[in-house]
């Protein structure tokens, strides 16, 4: 797990999910954590373990999507020597390793039917049988599982066992996406920006310009907190003036006029609708967005106005007019 991350946020929907996790931690029952990528499912799993009576025991993690179907059962339940080709010696599985603690199963929905059946038996009876063994082993393990799939729909499609879902869903914690966490983008961006500035040895954290902040708030954040962290840290480390607020924000690190044309065509995403953040002053929002674009373009072009005009497909006079309108002429070289 990425232990550099921590729970940060002030929105009510976020705090409600954290509170639910804290309450569920005290009960020795299975918990499902549901959420989009980058919402912090691993952090919730760690919180459930650290606040439980099993806090002194092991917290063992298995990403179910990271292993081929032929190996997932051996990873979960272990195997005896000679159980299959390559099994030269006996090996304990993740259940045995997590005995007395918590087993976190990430990407639960990717488990094969056979693994689901054996997982059901392990959770019901507290016993696992190594592959190639004849006797079960008693284990005392709490299951925390995570997925970004809607498991009831998978049950209806025959892709997930209904009885296993019933067994694991004593409590279900659904994490809100970042776009639904009102006010949290600014809090998280400031945190990640300060941390990156300190890593770079900056004397102080100058913050973001109004335009850059507006761009961060308007973005849809499909990668949620993980994406936000990358965007902010990249923006800070690329910014060359530690005394001035960060103005350049680049959401797509692959964006480049020299990107291979064939690759760009093959991987071009489908057009997406523009994000629609809450707005009570359209003119002010449009002005802030335009200012952010100008600041970012100036920074990319090292404040060369003619290069900036060309990058924005404006004439030199049009750029000067825009800079004057936003009172930015004194900041452009």
Distances (CA, A) of 192 to 38, 149, 161, 210: 15, 28, 40, 17
Residue 176 DSSP one-character state: P
Q: Convert the pLDDT of each residue in 103-144 to its tens digit.
A: 999 999 999 888 999 999 999 999 998 888 889 999 999 999
In a domain, 272, yes or no: no
Helix H or strand E segment including 137: strand 137-138
Q: What is the mean pLDDT of residues 31-40?
A: 96
The pTM assigned to this predicted structure is 0.75
Q: The domain containing residue 49 runs over which residues?
A: 12-176
Q: Convert the pLDDT of each residue in 79-90 to its tens digit.
A: 888 777 777 788
Last residue in a domain, options 157, 176, 195 = 176
Which strands make up the sheet holding 31-34, listed edge to edge? 59-63, 102-106, 142-147, 31-34, 171-174
Q: Are residues 147 and 204 in the same domain?
A: no
Q: Are residues 157 and 243 in the same domain?
A: no
Q: CA–CA separation, 288 vs 36, rounded Å? A: 29
Query: What percent of the chain is predicted at pLDDT more than 90?
Result: 61
| CATH assignment of the domain containing 291 | 1.10.8.60
In a domain, 267, yes or no: no
**Is the model's pLDDT at 272 over the cut of 70?**
no
Q: Convert the pLDDT of each residue in 166-198 to its tens digit.
A: 999 999 999 999 999 999 999 999 999 999 999
Last residue in a domain, options 138, 161, 176 = 176
**Is the model's pLDDT at 7 over the cut of 60?**
yes
Q: Are residues 170 and 213 in the same domain?
A: no
């Amino acid at each position: 797990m990425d232990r550099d991350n921590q729970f940060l946020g002030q929105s009510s929907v976020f705090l409600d999910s954290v509170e639910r996790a804290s309450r569920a931690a005290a009960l020795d029952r299975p918990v499902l954590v549901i959420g989009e990528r980058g919402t912090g499912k691993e952090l919730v799993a760690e919180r459930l373990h650290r606040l439980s009576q099993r806090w002194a025991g092991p917290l063992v993690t298995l990403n179910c999507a990271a292993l081929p179907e032929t190996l997932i059962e051996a990873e979960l339940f272990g195997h005896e020597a000679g159980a299959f080709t390559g099994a030269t010696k006996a090996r304990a599985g993740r259940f045995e390793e997590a005995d007395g603690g918590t087993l976190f199963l990430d990407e639960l929905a990717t488990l094969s039917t056979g693994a689901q059946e054996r997982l059901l038996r392990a959770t019901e009876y507290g016993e696992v049988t190594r592959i190639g063994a004849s006797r079960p082993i008693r284990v005392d393990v709490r299951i925390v599982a995570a997925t970004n799939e809607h498991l009831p729909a998978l049950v209806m499609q025959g892709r997930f066992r209904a009885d296993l879902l019933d067994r694991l869903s004593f409590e279900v914690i659904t994490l809100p996406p970042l776009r639904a966490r009102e006010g949290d983008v600014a809090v998280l961006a400031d945190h990640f920006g300060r941390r990156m500035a300190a890593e770079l040895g900056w004397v102080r954290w100058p913050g973001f310009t109004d335009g850059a902040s507006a761009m961060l708030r308007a973005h849809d954040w499909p990668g949620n907190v993980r994406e936000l962290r990358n965007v902010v840290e990249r923006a800070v480390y690329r910014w060359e003036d530690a005394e001035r607020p960060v103005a350049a924000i680049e959401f797509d690190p692959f964006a480049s006029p020299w990107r291979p044309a064939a690759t760009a065509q093959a991987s071009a995403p489908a057009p997406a609708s523009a994000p629609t953040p809450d707005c009570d002053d359209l003119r002010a929002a449009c002005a802030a967005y335009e200012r952010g674009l100008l600041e970012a373009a100036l920074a990319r072009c090292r404040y060369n106005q003619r290069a900036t005009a060309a990058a924005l497909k404006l004439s030199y006079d049009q750029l000067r007019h825009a800079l004057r309108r936003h009172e930015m002429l004194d900041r452009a070289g």
